[in-house]
C-alpha cells in the first residue's frame, strides 16, 4: 500500500521546468530518501506533496485521495527554511504547533520530546536565546511530536553536530517503528545509505534513481575497489584499467573501467606497496551521486 | 475552523500579553484625561498678575469712562466675593497724549515697553470713533499687544468702549429713558435639539438644549476611538506578516494550514485586539460618566452600531494589510507601502470638521456610502444630533459588508501567492497579478 502516489507531475516556474513528468510511489511505513544536487527539484517536489505548490500537470494522491485544496492532516513537515517565532517561549511554540496539528495530551508529549532531545532546561526560554542546533531540534520536535502518519523532513541533519544527528536518526527510526512513513531529503549520502529503505534521486527536474540501495547499486555492478595501502593515492597513478580515484586520504575508492581485470590491478599495486585492506564492492551512493551530477557542476537556479 | 482558532489564539495572546500593549492601553486614556484636566486647570487658573495698559485717546471722549470702568472693575470683579481670593488681574490704565509729530516713533517706543513686559497692551482710539462711516481713516479702535488676536483681555475693552459709545450716541438723540433701557437688549439664540414623542408612553419628550459636547465631542471621540483601534489592531498586521514571510515562519505554517486559514487567523487576532481595547475604553467611559451622573452624554443606542462597524472596519483594513504584508520582503518594503496603504484610513480624519458641521450634506452623505470611509464617516454623522435617514447606516453596513468580503477575497488571493514569492517588490503590477491572474 502506497501512502503517496505521484503520477506524471510537472511544475514550471515561468520558463524553467522545475520538475518534469515525475512519477513516484512511497510505500506506507517506509523511510524514503530524496537526494539530488542543490536546485534539482527536491524541495519543489516536497512542496507539491505538501500542497503548498499546485502541480501544472499530473496527479498527487495521498492515501489514495487526490489534491482537494485543503491541508493534509496527520502530516508533519519540516521545511528546508526553518522558521520559528523568536519571541515565543520553547514550550509555547511546541504547544502552538501541537494544537495546530490537532494533537492531544500535549503537555506530556512536549515533556517527553524536550527530555529526549536534551532541551528540557530551555522549556521556558525564548526561542531567540537558543543556538542554531537547538532551534533545529526544536523545529524537529514541533514537526513530529504528534507522531503523524506521514513525516516529511527537508534536510533534517543540516547544521547538527554528530551527537545530535545521531539522536535525530534514532528518533526517526523510532517513529518508523511506531508506524510513521518518513520522507527526508539530504546531502549526507552515508546517512541516506544507512537509514533509507528506498532512495529517489532527482536531477534537473528528472527522476534519475529510484529504488532500494541494492537495486540502485546493481545498476552499476561491482566496478569499485576499496584499497588501503602504505603508498596511498600516489602509487595508484598510471595503473591501467583505473577510470577514477576517489581519495579519502588513508583510503582510496577506485572506479574500474568496464574491461579492467581487478586481479591484475591488485597485482600491480602489490608490486609497488604494502596493502592493508582490499575489497571489490558495489559503488557507494556518494559515488553514484557524483557520477550522475558531476559532469555538469553548474547548479540549476530554480528551487 | 479549528486551525483558524489556534492561529487566532496565538495572534491575540501574543498581542495582548506584551508590555507595550498593556502600557498603551493604560497610558492612552491617562494622557487624554490628563491633557483635558490640565486644560481645565489652566483655564480656571487664570493669570492674576496685574496688567498695565497705555491708552491713546484721539477722540477725547473715551478715556475718562475707561478709567472709571477700570477702577470699578478693579474694586469689584477681581476678587472672589466668598473667599476674598484674587481671581482676576487688575487693569491699570495709563493715559497718554498722541505725539502728533512722530506717531510711529511713539508706537515703536510703547511696543518696546510691551516687549520689556512693562505693559500688556496699548489701546489707540481713533478721532471719529463716535460716528464711524463718516471717515474711513479715523474711526478705529486698535489694540497693540504681543498676543494680538488670541488675547482675551481685548474683549473687555471692546465691550466697555462700545457700550460707552452707544450711550453717547443715544444721548445725542434725547430719547425717553424708558426706550433707552431696552434699546440695546441683546437676545442670544439658544441651540436646541428636536422634540420627540416617546413611543411607549406617548408623552412628548421636550427638546433639550444642544451643546458642544453633543454636537462635536461625542462624534469626534467616536471616530478617534475607531481610528485608534484600527491603528492598534489592523495596521500592525502589515509588518507582522512581512516578518513571518522573511523569517520563513510562513512556510512552516503553510505545511499545516491553508493561506486563507493563516490570513483569517491573523486578521481575527487583530479584530480580537481591537474589540478588546474598544470594550475597555467604551466600558470605562460608560462607568465613568455614570459615576459622574452624566450618563446620558453617551449615546447608548449607537454603541451596537459602533461595534459592528468597528468589527467590519478592522476585518476590511486588516485583510488588506495582511495581503500587502505578504508582498513585502523586508522593513524597507513595509516603509514604502505603509503610508499609501493607510491613506484610506487617515483621509476621514482630515474631513472630520466639515462632516460634523454638515452631517446631512452631500459631501458627508456621499463619503459615508463609499465603503473604505463608511465606518468612520457614518459613525461621525450618526453621533451628531442631526437626524440621518435610517436607510443610510443600513445601506452603508451592507456596502461595507460586501466590500469587506471582497477585500478578504482579494487579500487572500494576493496573500496565498505572495507569501512564498521571494525577491519581488510590492508593486501595483505585482498586486494585480497575484490577485487576478494566478
Among B135, B168, B183, give the residue marking a domain's end. Answer: B183
Q: Which of B231, B305, B267 is nearest to B409 (CA)?
A: B267
Of the listed ranges A106-110, B84-88, B203-207, B258-262, the least confidently predicted one is B203-207
One domain, residues B138 and B262: no
Q: Tens of pLDDT along B106-141? A: 999 999 999 998 999 999 998 888 888 766 678 889
For residue A70, which residues of chain B lie inside 8 Å, CB to CB? 258
For residue B202, tell me if it sits in a domain: no
CA distance B3 to chain A (A): 6
One domain, residues B162 and B70: yes
Cell of A211: 529504488
For residue B348, tell me if it sits in a domain: yes
One domain, residues B179 and B216: no
B42 in Cβ contact with B35 (< 8 Å): no
One domain, residues B252 and B391: yes
Res A303 pLDDT > 60: no
Q: Most A CBs within 10 Å: which of B252, B254, B264, as the mutation test of the A interface?
A: B252
pLDDT mean over B362-373: 88
For B251, the closest chain A residue by CA position comes to A79
pLDDT mean over A163-180: 90
Res B252 pLDDT > 90: no
- Grid look-up 553536530 returns A161
Q: Tens of pLDDT along A249-284? A: 888 888 888 888 888 888 888 888 888 888 888 888
pLDDT mean over B262-272: 89
| pLDDT value, residue B209 | 60
One domain, residues B299 and B353: yes
Measure the CA–CA gap between B149 and B430, rounded to whole angstroms: 54
One domain, residues B350 and B215: yes
Measure the CA–CA gap between B271 and B277, rounded to whole angstroms: 10
Res A231 pLDDT > 50: yes
Measure the CA–CA gap between A217 and A221, rounded to whole angstroms: 6
State the pTM of this model: 0.72
Range of the domain at B94: 50-183
For residue B193, tell me if it sits in a domain: no
| pLDDT value, residue A302 | 41
A80 in Cβ contact with A159 (< 8 Å): no
Percent of chain B with pLDDT over 70: 92
| pLDDT value, residue A72 | 67
Cα dihedral B325, B331, B332, B336 sign: positive
Among B183, B198, B226, give the residue marking a domain's end. Answer: B183
CA distance A100 to chain B (A): 6
For residue A87, which residues of chain B lie inside 8 Å, CB to CB? 14
Among B168, B183, B198, give the residue marking a domain's end. Answer: B183
A128 and chain B in contact, CB less than 8 A: no
pLDDT mean over B381-409: 85
**pLDDT: which is higher, B258 or A127:** A127
One domain, residues B345 and B403: yes
Q: Tens of pLDDT along B298-310? A: 777 788 888 888 8
Cell of B355: 462632516
- A82 to B252: CB separation less than 8 angstroms, yes or no: yes
| pLDDT value, residue B135 | 61
**pLDDT: which is higher, A257 or B215:** A257
Q: What confidence category does residue B288 fall into, taking pLDDT thresholds of 50, 70 and 90?
A: confident
Cβ-nearest to B249 among A52, A75, A85? A85
Q: Where are the alpha helices (DSSP H) in A14-78?
A: 42-49
Quote the number of domains for chain B. 2
One domain, residues B62 and B27: no
Residue A207, strand partner residues: A202
Q: Most A CBs within 10 Å: which of B251, B329, B424, as the mutation test of the A interface?
A: B251
Of the listed ranges A30-39, A50-59, A222-231, B420-429, the least confidently predicted one is B420-429
For residue B290, tell me if it sits in a domain: yes
pLDDT mean over B346-370: 87
**DSSP assignment, residue B295?**
G
What three-state secondary structure class fits B282? helix
A110 in Cβ contact with A98 (< 8 Å): yes
| pLDDT value, residue A297 | 44
| pLDDT value, residue B54 | 93
Cβ-nearest to B256 among A69, A71, A88? A71
Res B430 pLDDT > 70: yes
One domain, residues B370 and B332: yes
Q: Tens of pLDDT along A115-137? A: 988 888 998 999 989 888 888 88
For residue B21, tell me if it sits in a domain: yes
Domains (ranges, CATH) in chain A?
2-217 (3.40.50.300), 222-281 (3.30.70.100)
Q: What is the mean pLDDT of chain B?
A: 83
| pLDDT value, residue A301 | 40
One domain, residues B156 and B272: no
For residue B198, tell me if it sits in a domain: no
One domain, residues B115 and B231: no
B247 and chain A in contact, CB less than 8 A: yes
What three-state secondary structure class fits B205? strand
| pLDDT value, residue A108 | 92
CATH of the domain at B96: 3.40.190
What three-state secondary structure class fits B140? coil
For residue B199, tell me if it sits in a domain: no
A248 and chain B in contact, CB less than 8 A: no
Cell of B285: 467611559
Q: Tens of pLDDT along B50-63? A: 889 999 999 889 99
Q: Tens of pLDDT along B322-344? A: 888 888 888 888 888 888 888 88
One domain, residues B168 and B288: no
| pLDDT value, residue A94 | 93
Measure the CA–CA gap between B166 and B180, rounded to whole angstroms: 11
Res B192 pLDDT > 80: no
Q: What confidence category does residue A7 fall into, taking pLDDT thresholds of 50, 70 and 90?
A: very high
Exposed, middle or buried by CB within 10 Å (0-12, 13-18, 19+), for A263?
Answer: exposed
What three-state secondary structure class fits B311? helix
B248 in Cβ contact with A81 (< 8 Å): yes
**pLDDT: which is higher, B421 or B67:** B67
pLDDT mean over B149-159: 81
For A77, the closest chain B residue by CA position comes to B255
Cβ-nearest to B6 among A75, A87, A96? A96
For residue B261, which residues of chain A lie inside 8 Å, CB to CB? 71
For residue B276, tell me if it sits in a domain: yes
ipTM of the complex: 0.76
Amino acid at each position: 500500500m502506497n501512502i503517496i502516489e505521484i503520477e506524471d507531475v510537472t511544475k514550471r516556474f515561468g520558463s524553467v521546468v522545475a520538475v518534469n513528468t515525475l512519477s513516484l510511489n512511497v510505500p506506507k511505513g517506509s523511510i524514503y530518501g530524496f537526494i539530488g544536487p542543490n536546485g534539482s527539484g527536491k524541495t519543489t517536489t516536497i512542496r507539491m506533496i505538501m500542497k503548498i505548490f499546485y502541480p501544472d500537470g499530473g496527479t498527487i494522491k495521498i492515501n489514495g485521495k487526490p489534491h482537494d485544496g485543503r491541508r493534509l492532516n496527520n502530516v508533519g513537515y519540516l521545511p528546508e527554511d526553518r522558521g520559528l517565532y523568536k519571541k515565543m517561549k520553547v514550550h509555547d511554540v511546541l504547544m502552538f504547533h501541537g494544537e495546530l496539528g490537532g494533537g492531544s495530551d500535549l503537555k506530556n508529549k512536549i515533556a517527553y520530546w524536550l527530555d529526549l532531545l536534551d532541551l528540557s532546561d530551555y522549556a521556558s526560554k525564548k526561542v531567540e536565546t537558543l543556538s542554531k542546533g537547538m532551534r533545529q531540534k526544536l523545529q524537529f520536535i514541533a514537526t513530529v511530536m504528534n507522531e503523524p502518519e506521514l513525516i516529511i523532513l527537508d534536510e533534517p541533519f543540516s547544521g547538527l553536530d554528530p551527537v545530535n544527528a545521531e539522536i535525530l536518526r534514532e528518533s526517526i527510526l523510532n517513529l518508523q517503528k511506531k508506524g510513521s512513513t518518513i520522507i527526508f531529503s539530504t546531502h549526507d549520502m552515508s546517512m541516506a545509505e544507512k537509514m533509507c529503505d528506498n532512495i529517489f534521486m532527482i536531477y534537473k527536474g528528472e527522476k534519475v534513481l529510484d529504488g532500494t540501495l541494492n537495486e540502485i547499486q546493481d545498476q552499476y555492478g561491482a566496478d569499485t575497489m576499496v584499497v588501503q595501502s602504505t603508498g596511498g593515492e600516489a602509487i595508484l597513478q598510471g595503473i591501467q584499467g583505473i577510470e577514477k580515484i576517489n581519495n579519502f586520504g588513508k583510503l582510496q575508492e577506485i572506479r574500474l573501467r568496464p574491461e579492467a581485470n581487478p586481479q591484475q590491478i591488485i597485482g600491480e599495486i602489490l608490486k609497488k606497496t604494502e596493502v592493508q585492506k582490499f575489497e571489490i564492492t558495489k559503488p557507494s551512493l556518494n559515488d553514484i551521486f557524483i557520477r550522475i551530477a558531476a559532469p555538469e557542476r553548474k547548479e540549476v537556479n530554480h528551487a | 475552523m479549528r486551525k483558524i482558532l489556534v492561529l487566532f489564539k496565538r495572534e491575540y495572546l501574543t498581542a495582548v500579553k506584551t508590555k507595550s500593549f498593556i502600557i498603551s492601553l493604560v497610558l492612552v486614556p491617562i494622557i487624554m484625561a490628563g491633557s483635558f484636566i490640565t486644560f481645565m486647570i489652566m483655564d480656571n487658573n487664570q493669570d492674576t498678575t496685574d496688567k498695565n495698559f497705555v491708552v491713546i485717546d484721539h477722540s477725547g471722549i473715551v478715556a475718562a469712562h475707561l478709567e472709571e470702568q477700570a477702577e470699578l472693575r478693579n474694586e469689584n470683579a477681581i476678587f472672589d466675593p466668598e473667599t476674598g481670593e484674587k481671581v482676576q488681574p487688575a487693569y491699570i490704565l495709563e493715559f497718554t497724549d498722541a505725539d502728533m509729530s512722530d506717531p510711529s516713533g511713539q508706537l515703536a517706543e510703547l511696543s518696546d515697553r510691551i516687549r520689556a513686559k512693562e505693559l500688556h497692551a496699548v489701546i489707540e482710539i481713533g478721532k471719529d470713533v463716535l460716528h464711524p462711516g463718516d471717515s474711513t481713516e479715523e474711526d478705529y479702535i486698535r489694540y497693540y499687544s504681543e498676543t494680538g488676536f488670541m488675547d482675551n483681555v481685548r474683549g473687555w475693552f471692546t465691550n466697555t468702549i462700545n457700550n460707552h459709545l452707544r450711550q453717547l450716541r443715544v444721548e445725542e438723540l434725547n430719547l425717553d429713558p424708558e426706550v433707552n433701557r431696552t434699546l440695546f437688549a441683546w437676545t442670544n439664540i439658544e441651540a436646541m435639539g428636536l422634540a420627540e414623542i416617546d413611543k411607549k408612553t406617548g408623552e412628548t419628550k421636550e427638546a433639550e438644549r444642544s451643546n458642544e459636547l453633543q454636537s462635536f465631542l461625542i462624534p469626534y471621540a467616536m471616530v478617534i476611538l475607531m481610528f485608534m483601534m484600527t491603528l492598534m489592531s489592523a495596521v500592525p498586521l502589515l509588518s507582522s506578516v512581512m516578518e513571518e514571510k522573511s523569517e520563513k515562519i510562513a512556510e512552516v505554517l503553510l505545511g499545516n494550514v491553508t493561506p486563507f486559514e493563516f490570513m483569517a487567523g491573523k486578521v481575527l487576532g487583530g479584530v480580537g485586539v481591537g474589540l478588546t481595547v474598544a470594550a475597555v475604553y467604551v466600558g470605562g467611559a460608560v462607568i465613568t460618566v455614570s459615576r459622574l451622573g452624566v450618563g446620558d452624554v453617551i449615546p447608548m443606542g449607537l454603541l451596537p452600531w459602533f461595534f459592528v462597524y468597528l468589527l467590519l472596519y478592522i476585518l476590511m483594513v486588516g485583510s488588506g494589510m495582511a495581503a500587502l504584508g505578504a508582498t513585502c520582503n523586508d522593513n524597507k518594503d513595509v516603509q514604502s507601502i505603509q503610508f499609501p496603504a493607510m491613506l484610506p484610513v487617515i483621509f476621514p480624519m482630515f474631513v472630520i470638521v466639515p462632516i460634523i458641521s454638515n452631517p446631512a450634506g452631500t459631501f458627508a452623505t456621499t463619503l459615508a456610502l463609499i465603503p473604505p470611509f463608511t465606518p468612520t464617516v457614518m459613525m461621525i454623522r450618526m453621533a451628531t444630533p442631526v437626524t440621518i435617514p435610517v436607510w443610510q447606516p443600513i445601506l452603508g453596513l451592507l456596502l461595507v459588508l460586501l466590500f469587506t468580503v471582497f477585500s478578504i477575497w482579494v487579500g487572500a488571493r494576493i496573500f496565498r501567492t505572495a507569501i512564498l514569492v521571494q525577491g519581488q517588490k510590492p508593486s501595483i503590477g505585482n498586486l494585480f497579478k497575484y490577485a487576478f491572474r494566478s
